[in-house]
């Protein structure tokens, strides 16, 4: 079980590569790669979760020794890219740049605030509450998603669909860990510090995380880059 976290992360990268190669649009490939690279930086927040949320055995035992690990960077890289393009892989859409005139519409004056809302909410919760970090992250993802929804209501269809699609995909993906390594969840996750609810062996909080990532992250490329979808 020592290399389960590494193997599981590498499996996600295989899925990432398969989806990336299947994308026909150069814009979607760029979107997936750029968002994955930026998202991977969030892997550096792993010390917030070890051991409060979980304590995974990792390569060179880095997670337990330092809180950081290579696997987190690989995992978040894969999650970010898949969450942002999975909708476009299923539904054929194209990106269109928002005109300068449209940028000046009333809702867009909150553009920067909406983009920064998720990290701001997360930091405030981490500093001023004693919530387990996973709950702070979930609230930040949903809160940031709602701010984005207000600022960019044209993206709501993609955001909602992506939240449920990514939740299902992540559920199936997590089942591979449960079946390959029975007892791994009970051994690694700090179930006494969270709800302890397992759905087919999967911690409820992991599914909350997947839903939140799909909800917010699916809009990141269009929102930050001033693009909209053309169906």
Closest listed residue to residue 118, CA positions, set 12, 217, 227: 217
Task: Convert the pLDDT of each residue in 62-105 to its tens digit.
Answer: 887 888 899 999 999 999 999 999 998 888 888 899 988 888 88
Contacts of 66 (CB under 8 A, 6+ apart): 47
* Interatomic CA distance for residues 205 and 191, integer angstroms: 10
* Interatomic CA distance for residues 160 and 63, integer angstroms: 33
Integer-rounded Cα radius of gyration of the chain: 18
Buried b / exposed e along 164-190 (16+ C-beta atoms within 10 A) = ebbbebbeebbeebeeebeebbeebbb
Buried b / exposed e along 202-225 (16+ C-beta atoms within 10 A) = bbebbbbbbbbbbbbbbbbbbbee
Q: Kindly state the average pLDDT of the residues 125-146.
A: 97
pTM: 0.93
Domain ranges within the chain, ordered by starting residue: 4-230
* Interatomic CA distance for residues 170 and 209, integer angstroms: 10
Residue 106 pLDDT level (bands cut at 50, 70, 90):
confident
* Interatomic CA distance for residues 134 and 142, integer angstroms: 12
* Polymer length of the chain: 231
Task: Convert the pLDDT of each residue in 8-51 to its tens digit.
Answer: 999 999 999 999 999 988 889 999 999 999 999 899 999 999 99
Helix, strand, coil tally for the chain in percent (to 5): 75, 5, 20
């Amino acid at each position: 079980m020592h290399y389960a976290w590494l193997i599981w992360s590498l499996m996600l990268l295989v899925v990432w590569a398969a989806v990336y190669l299947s994308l026909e649009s150069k814009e979607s490939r760029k979107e997936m790669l750029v968002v994955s690279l930026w998202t991977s930086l969030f892997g550096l927040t792993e010390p917030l979760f070890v051991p409060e949320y979980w304590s995974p055995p990792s390569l060179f035992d880095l997670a337990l020794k330092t809180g950081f690990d290579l696997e987190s960077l690989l995992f978040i890289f894969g999650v970010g890219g898949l969450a942002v393009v999975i909708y476009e892989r299923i539904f054929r859409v194209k990106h269109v740049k928002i005109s300068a005139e449209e940028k000046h519409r009333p809702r867009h004056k909150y553009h920067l605030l909406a983009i920064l809302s998720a990290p701001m909410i997360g930091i405030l919760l981490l500093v001023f509450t004693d919530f387990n970090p996973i709950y702070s992250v979930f609230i930040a993802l949903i809160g940031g998603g709602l701010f984005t929804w207000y600022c960019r209501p044209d993206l709501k269809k993609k955001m909602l669909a992506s939240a449920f699609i990514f939740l299902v995909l992540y559920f199936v993906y997590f089942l591979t860990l449960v079946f390959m390594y029975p007892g791994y969840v009970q051994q690694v996750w700090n179930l006494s510090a969270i709800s302890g609810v397992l759905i087919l062996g999967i911690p409820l909080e992991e599914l909350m995380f997947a839903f939140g990532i799909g909800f917010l992250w699916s809009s990141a490329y269009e929102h930050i880059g001033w693009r909209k979808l053309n169906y």
